[in-house]
Amino acid sequence: MSAGRDVKEAYLSVRQDMAAAALAAGRGPDAVSLVAVSKTHDAPHIRPVLAAGHRVFGENRVQEAKQKWPALRADFPGLSLHLIGPLQSNKAAEAVALFDVIETVDRDKIAAALAVEMRRQNRWPRLLVQVNTGREPQKAGVDPADVPAFLQRMRDVHGLQPAGLMCIPPVEENPVPHFQLLRQLAGAAGLAELSMGMSSDYAAAIAEGATLVRVGSAIFGSRPAARPGPATLPA
């Protein structure tokens, strides 16, 4: 069996599981979007998923996305590219030019840099705020207690409209309480988008109200272990 067919079948199986999880939670089949996380995988691995009609992808590094996606975008109109990794303010211009959704806004410096670039480029990616639900010192994200104030500063100081929240629960913990906390915070703030759930727990996240799940290895297979994980802060 070719790698391409493996990836396509894995993709279709994730879609099926997602639909079943949505149904079980009494949610419509379109209530949850799949962000196919293609980081570290090259275009030949991504194309089968594009060919199957999928158009929403996640990358965690601006440089890597910039190398891979412009050519694919030319071949597959209607793409939506999500930045799911930490953003440095000196990459804000490239991020605004490249991404349709930036899921990892977590401090004023980034919000300010994005605001400047969005106006300058007249491009308006949707913005999610990353929340460090586990309060892990090494992990990016706003402290849960600071979420309301940060959202307010995004609006009032930076003139940005956050669309929702995103979290990466601690690896060793049951993710469900983290999903519930994220939903609670978004509900209190009147935000619609909830990006939570990865390969190992997207069904649980859908049960807790995820509107976006970010699934990588369950579709594309395992990644080389050498790269720093998603939790690391920008240097």
Ligand X SMILES: *Cc1c(COP(=O)(O)O)cnc(C)c1O
Interface residues with ligand X (CB under 6 A)? 37, 39, 60, 84-85, 168, 198-199, 214-218, 230
Contact in structure between 126 and 193 (CB atoms under 8 Å): yes
Distance of closest approach, residue 227 Cβ to ligand X, in angstroms? 10
Among residues 118 and 168, whose Cβ is nearest to ligand X?
A: 168
88, amino acid identity: Q
Distance of closest approach, residue 195 Cβ to ligand X, in angstroms? 8
Among residues 153 and 199, whose Cβ is nearest to ligand X?
A: 199
Among residues 63 and 121, whose Cβ is nearest to ligand X?
A: 63
Distance of closest approach, residue 72 Cβ to ligand X, in angstroms? 19
179, amino acid identity: F
Among residues 137 and 190, whose Cβ is nearest to ligand X?
A: 137
Distance of closest approach, residue 212 Cβ to ligand X, in angstroms? 10
Among residues 121 and 130, whose Cβ is nearest to ligand X?
A: 130
Among residues 85 and 125, whose Cβ is nearest to ligand X?
A: 85
Distance of closest approach, residue 35 Cβ to ligand X, in angstroms? 8
Distance of closest approach, residue 77 Cβ to ligand X, in angstroms? 25
Q: Other CB atoms closer than 10 Å to residue 58's CB: what's the count? A: 25
Residue 104 has phi, psi (to 5 degrees) of -125, 35
- Give me the residue label for tokens 């303010």: 89
